Amino acid sequence: MSERTRRRRWLELLGVDRSRLPRADEIAAGPLRPLTIPNIVDYLRLAALAVFVVLAVVYAQPSPLLASLFAAIGLADFFDGFLARLTGQFSRLGMLLDPVIDRLLTVVGGAVALAVDALPWWLVAVAATRELATVTLARYALAHGLAIEVNTLGRVAVAVTFLGLAGALWSAAEVWTIVVAIGVAISLAATGVYVLHGLRRLAAQRHGRNFQTKTSSQT
């Protein structure tokens, strides 16, 4: 294997180069495949999230343990994506499950940070509303045969928001409120990009159907 090939392979594994990976609509049209290695990682993330909630009730204050567990669940999101690209085990269930867990982690982490007075209520409310809107839009898109690809802005938003939430769960410092606010602002911008992209694809689909109908009627 040449140096160039190895470099490209690593860029693929890290999710930087996605040109040769299956598209989101191809995965969405594929089999559910619940028992894949990446999906097992997602199941473990869900179990760890339940443990996180229990520990949050027990500690009821910012804690290094809470912050570390939250960070581990967040980092596992990169790990399951890496495993999917390494093994080629892409699945429709994984495509559905992975973003839902991220949404849950953001909402639950924000709620816990709010409960321990580490973040202001308005910021948690905006973050939770954005996550709910994202899930609603994603379901609408899938119902219309669209599978929206995660963009770079969205990945940056998740990383910054998770960093801020982990910091807030470690200690109630003002700097973490600022970091979470930046992450939420980037996520709102990413949502705008998703909406524009989805509207363009819907318009293209309708144009294609109209053209096909017109062509059929003329033959």
Q: What would the mean pLDDT of 131-137 be, rounded to a whole number?
A: 83
Q: What pLDDT is stored for residue 59 in this prediction?
A: 85
pLDDT tens string 149-177: 667 888 899 999 999 999 999 998 899 99
Residue 19 scores a pLDDT above 80: no
The better pLDDT of the pair 127, 146 is held by 127
pLDDT tens string 64-81: 999 999 999 999 988 888
The better pLDDT of the pair 192, 45 is held by 45
How far apart are the C-alpha atoms of 103 and 106, rounded to whole Å?
5
Nearest CA among 105, 84, 106, 87 for reference residue 95: 84
pTM for the complete prediction? 0.83
Average pLDDT, the chain: 84
How far apart are the C-alpha atoms of 128 and 130, rounded to whole Å?
5
SS3 call for 116: coil
The better pLDDT of the pair 143, 88 is held by 88
Q: What pLDDT is stored for residue 145 in this prediction?
A: 65
Q: What pLDDT is stored for residue 193 in this prediction?
A: 85
Question: 24 falls in which pLDDT band (50, 70, 90)?
Answer: confident
Q: What would the mean pLDDT of 87-109 be, rounded to a whole number?
A: 88
Query: What domains are there in the chain, each with its CATH number?
Result: 18-218 (1.20.120)
Residue 202 scores a pLDDT above 90: no
Question: 207 falls in which pLDDT band (50, 70, 90)?
Answer: low
How far apart are the C-alpha atoms of 77 and 42, rounded to whole Å?
8
12-26, 100-114, 187-201: range with lowest mean pLDDT:
12-26
Please answer whether residues 59 and 66 qualify as being in contact, where contact means their C-beta atoms are separated by less than 8 angstroms: yes
How far apart are the C-alpha atoms of 82 and 139, rounded to whole Å?
25
Q: What pLDDT is stored for residue 192 in this prediction?
A: 87
Q: What pLDDT is stored for residue 148 in this prediction?
A: 64
Question: 146 falls in which pLDDT band (50, 70, 90)?
Answer: low
Q: What pLDDT is stored for residue 211 in this prediction?
A: 46
How far apart are the C-alpha atoms of 29 and 80, rounded to whole Å?
20
SS3 call for 35: coil
Q: What pLDDT is stored for residue 180 in this prediction?
A: 96
